[in-house]
Structure 1
């Protein structure tokens, strides 16, 4: 899809998309932001559609994905704020640092969410919970070789995803 086609798609569907997002989110400001994000995605990764309805279908899938990302981010923010409430006031980072931390947590969550369940569970157990390969093998009733294999797969997939999406 070339730039004039994206402009045509924008003119034809921006209002529809914003209304769709308002219904899903119940917040016109968030809806406007996500509608813009959806069209920005099209500018970064142009696609071609057989007809106007194909574009609308694709945009609705983007809208759904953006809503899920927004809701997940808010869950992460809420959990982070709840964890901050348990800290002594002098240990709480300033607001700018909090946003950086939340952004990092969201990126890690996005990366981990793309892993198959067994691989993700093994990766988290070793890298975050600090379990040994033996402990993970016993807990999950798998061999130590499987633990090593899952970790290797996780590292390859996470590295590949990070490189593809320019996440640093």
Structure 2
């Protein structure tokens, strides 16, 4: 799909996509932003379609994915804002710092969500919960070697993700 194909897809389907997103999100402004994001994705990573209808199907999948990302980000933002309520006003980060922190948390969440379940569970147990390899092995009824293997997998996958998604 070249730039002209994307322009044609945009002309034919932008209104449809915006309306689809308005129905899903209930917010015309968010819908307009996500519709624009969808077409920007096509410009960055061109795809080939058998027809413009195939392009519309692909756009609906992108729209679905963008909605999930938006909802997940809002959940993360709300959890972070809730945690800030525990802090003394003197220790609150400014708005720019809060946004940067949320951006990092969202990217970490994206990294973790791409890990296989066992790898993610092991990584969180060791890195977040502070369990030893032996404790994780006992808890999950696996060998210490498996714990080490899962951690190695997590580090490799997260390093690759970081190199491709963090600027």
Deviation string for 1:16-70 (max 9, x for gaps)? 0000000000000000000000000000000110001100000000000000000
Equivalent residue number for residue 161 of structure 1: 161
Is 2:10 the counterpart of 1:14? no
Equivalent residue number for residue 57 of structure 1: 57
Superposition TM-score, scaled by structure 1 size = 0.97
Distance 1:126 1:119 in 2: 11
Cα offset for 1:162?
2.3
Cα offset for 1:147?
0.3
Is 2:113 the counterpart of 1:145? no
Distance 2:90 2:67 in 1: 35
Cα offset for 1:160?
1.7
Instruction: Give the alignment's Cα RMSD to 1 decimal.
Output: 0.8
| Number of residue pairs matched by the alignment | 167
Cα offset for 1:161?
2.1
Structure 1 segments, 4+ long, off by >4 Å, are: none
Unpaired runs of 5+ residues, structure 1, are none
Is 2:102 the counterpart of 1:106? no
Equivalent residue number for residue 90 of structure 1: 90
Superposition TM-score, scaled by structure 2 size = 0.97
Distance 1:42 1:52 in 2: 13
Unpaired runs of 5+ residues, structure 2, are none
